Amino acid sequence: MEGTDLPYIVSVGTAVPDHTLQQEEAREFARELFRDAFQDITRYLPIFDHASIRTRRLARPREWFEEDRSFAERNDAYTETACRLGEEAVKQCLERAGVHPGEVDHLFFVSTSGLATPSIDARMIHRLGFSRHVKRTPIWGLGCAGGASGLARAYEYTLAFPESRVILLAVELCSLTFRRGDHTKSNLVATSLFADGAAAVLIIGNEAPFPAGLSGRPRVLDTMSTTWPNSLDVMGWEVEDDGLKVLFSRDIPSIVRREVPAAVEGFLTRSGLDLNRVGRVIAHPGGMKVLTAYQEALSLPEEAFRHSRSILGEYGNMSSVTVLFVLERELQEEHQAGSYGLVTALGPGFSSEMMLLQW
């Protein structure tokens, strides 16, 4: 298929809650909460510094988390906040493209940090003025890979229906999964990393009218999903009576170094490319150790991950949403015609999603 026949990524809109958490404040919160669970809590607190995160946004003020909250109470907060942030992100995305909600043909919704039926996408229809006949696909459980995976599924829809306009909405409220009674090291690490946010992306097929006044938007050339065997315990949730228990393996950076280079090489080879031809890496910044592992494994300069590092520092790890914040930064820059970009994210499974862009 020729490049001119392929879908465009047109615009990105983002939204974050009002409550800001400084990393120093998070560190002291963790010191008080975990000090009785670890023999020497001071020994573990440097993970807050090594995360290279300065600020994060939370769905509720920090004081709200100082009391025990039921799963139902936290999930009610998820539904309310997800609708509010989702509406803001979609509005911004469509306004930047000059597209009316009624012109959208399909709405994909990605999340892993809360539950809602009717799903959040259903609640968006009348709030935003979508057509009552708009198609909806809610996707749950992809974790940090969800932003890239959702983007790939939206691309595939516009490839099959080239006259269509598609919105991907990702919302994650990771803070609302926090369980005060979980004194595991995984929860301590999560407390140092995770944050809340929403992002919406507009993708249009090559037969849909391109929005006036926009230029320099990338086309999607290819995508690839990978799920490695014997890796279900690397990352995910366990469902407990009081909510979702976070699971993290300390081996994630080493898995990146061992598995990602071959996966990236195989993906780019399908398009006759290698990493030397890819000028931009739009990577989900799961954490500084993971970004460093990416950089070392792919033998790329720090500059290649500039936006990923910046988003991590300003917003923390917003799970599936984060890579879309990185994409928003990338779309704000000028690119040489014909240049390539690689979108990549890792998530539970243990899995990878990659997408090849060309400007």
Active site positions, annotated: 144
Q: What is the DSSP string of 14-75?
A: EE--SEEEEHHHHHHHHHHHHTTTSTTGGGTTHHHHHTT--EEEESS-GGGGGS---HHHHH
Which residue matches tokens 């944050």? Answer: 195
How would you label 12-31 residue by residue, b for 16+ Cβ within 10 Å and e otherwise? Answer: bbbbbbebebebeebbebbe
Q: At CA 50, angle to CA 45 and CA 55, rounded to 5?
A: 90
E strands, 141-215, in order? 165-173, 196-204
> Residues with Cβ < 8 Å from 278, sequence gap 6 or more?
268, 340, 341, 342
How many Å apart are CA 220 and CA 159, to the nearest integer?
A: 10
> Residues with Cβ < 8 Å from 263, sequence gap 6 or more?
224, 226, 352, 354
Task: Determine if residue 241 is left, alpha or beta; phi over 0 gives left, psi from -120 to 50 gives alpha, anything else beta.
Answer: alpha
Q: Are 281 and 304 in contact (CB under 8 A)?
A: yes
